[in-house]
Structure 1
Amino acid sequence: MFKQSSVFMFQLYLVFIILFLTPICYLLVSQVVKLIVENRLFKTLIPFDRKQRLSKQQVLSLAKIYIHKKQWLSCILMLELYVKIDNPNLGEYYNSIGFCYQLINVNRLAKYYYSQAKEFSPSNILFLKNLAKAYWMCNDLQASLSIYKQILKLDPQNEIALKNIDLLVKQSKKML
C-alpha cells in the first residue's frame, strides 16, 4: 500500500513538473529562434565591404531590428549616416529617427525630425500623423490640431485624425 502511494505521488509530481516546465520551454525556444532569425537578418544586411551601400529597404529593416532590440543610439547613428549619403530617401530616414526619439520620450527632437520628414514629403499622412502626435506630446495643442486638419484635407475619412481632433478640442477647452 505504501509503495503504491509513493509511486502515485511520484507520478503526480512528474506530471506537475512537466505541466509547469512545458510553457517555459516553449517560451525559451521561441525567443531563441526569434533571436537566431534576427541575427541572420542582421548579418545579411551588414555589408562585408564597407564601400558597399545598403538599399533603402535594407536600411529601414536594419533600423527596425535596432528599434526592436532597443539599441536607439545605433539606430539613430546609422540613420543619420544614411541621411548624409542617401538623398532620395531623406523623408523616411528622418521619420525613423523621429520615431526613435519618440520611443525614448525625447519629444522635442522627435518633433524636429518629423518636421524634417514633412519638408521632404508634405502629403505623406504617416509623417503628418507622427508630427501631430509629437506636437501633442510637447503640449503644442494648436499645432497638433492644425496638422490633424491637414491630414483631413488629404484624407477626409482618416479615423485617427477625426478622433484626435475631437480629443484635442476637448483638451483645449479644459485648459481654458
Structure 2
Amino acid sequence: MFQLYLVFIILFLIPICYLVINEIVKLLFENRLFKSLIPLDRSQKLTKEQVLSLAKIYIRKKHWLSCILMLEFYAKIDKSNLGEYYNSIGFCYQLINSNILAKDYYDQARASSPSNILFLKNLAKVYWLCNDLQASLSTYEQILELDPQNKIALQNIDKLIKKTKEVL
C-alpha cells in the first residue's frame, strides 16, 4: 500500500517539476537576453530585432510603461521601422485595455506600411473592441483585398455582418 502511495505521489510530482523547471529555464534565458541587450555604453544602438526582443520580455513581465517608453524612444531614432514599433506600442496599450490609444498607434503603424496584414488585422480587432463595427469591417475587407484566402478576415467579416444586422 505504501509503495502504491509513493508511485502516485511521484506520478503527480513529475509533471509539476517539469513545469517548474521549464519556467525557470525561460526566466534564466530571458534574464540573460535582457542583460545582453541592455547597452552599457550610451553610444551603442540596439538593432530592430534586439529592440523587439526586449519589448517581448517587457511584455511578458508586464512592464508596460518600460516597453512603451523604450519603443517610443527607438521610434524617434529609427524611422525605418516605425510600423513595427507603433504596432508593438499598440499591442501594449491593447493589453492594458487602453483600446483608444491602441487604435491610434495601430493606425500610425498602418500609415507607415498600408499593405502589412498584421497591422491591418490588429487595427481591425481594436476597432471591433471599440465597437466601431463599420471601420472594423472595412479594415477586414482591406485585408481580403491583399490576401483573399485570409481565414481570420473571412470569419470576422461574417461575424461582423451578422452583428451589424442585429444592431440595425
Q: State the TM-score, normalizing by the size of structure 2.
A: 0.94
SS of the residue 2:164 aligns to = helix
Map 1:29-44 → 2, pairs under 5 A? 29-44=21-36
| CA RMSD in angstroms, aligned pairs only | 1.3
Give the corresponding residue for 1:90.
Answer: 82
Amino acid at match of 1:125: I
Q: How many residues align?
A: 168
Give the corresponding residue for 1:26.
Answer: 18
Give the corresponding residue for 2:121.
Answer: 129
Q: State the TM-score, normalizing by the size of structure 1.
A: 0.90
Give the corresponding residue for 2:98.
Answer: 106
Unpaired runs of 5+ residues, structure 2, are none
Amino acid at match of 1:57: E
Percent of counterpart pairs with the same letter? 76
Structure with higher Rg: it is 1
1:147 equivalenced with 2:139 (yes/no):
yes
Q: For residues 135 and 75 of structure 1, what CA distance do their matches in structure 2 show? A: 23
Amino acid at match of 1:108: I
Larger mean CA deviation between 157-166 and 122-131 belongs to 157-166
Q: For residues 13 and 150 of structure 1, what CA distance do their matches in structure 2 show? A: 61
Could you say if the C-alpha distance between residues 173 and 46 of structure 1 is closer, same or farther in structure 2, counting changes exceeding 3 Å? Answer: same
Q: For residues 99 and 125 of structure 1, what CA distance do their matches in structure 2 show? A: 15
1:133: how far off? 0.7
Amino acid at match of 1:71: H
1:13: how far off? 4.1
1:12: how far off? 4.0
1:67 equivalenced with 2:59 (yes/no):
yes
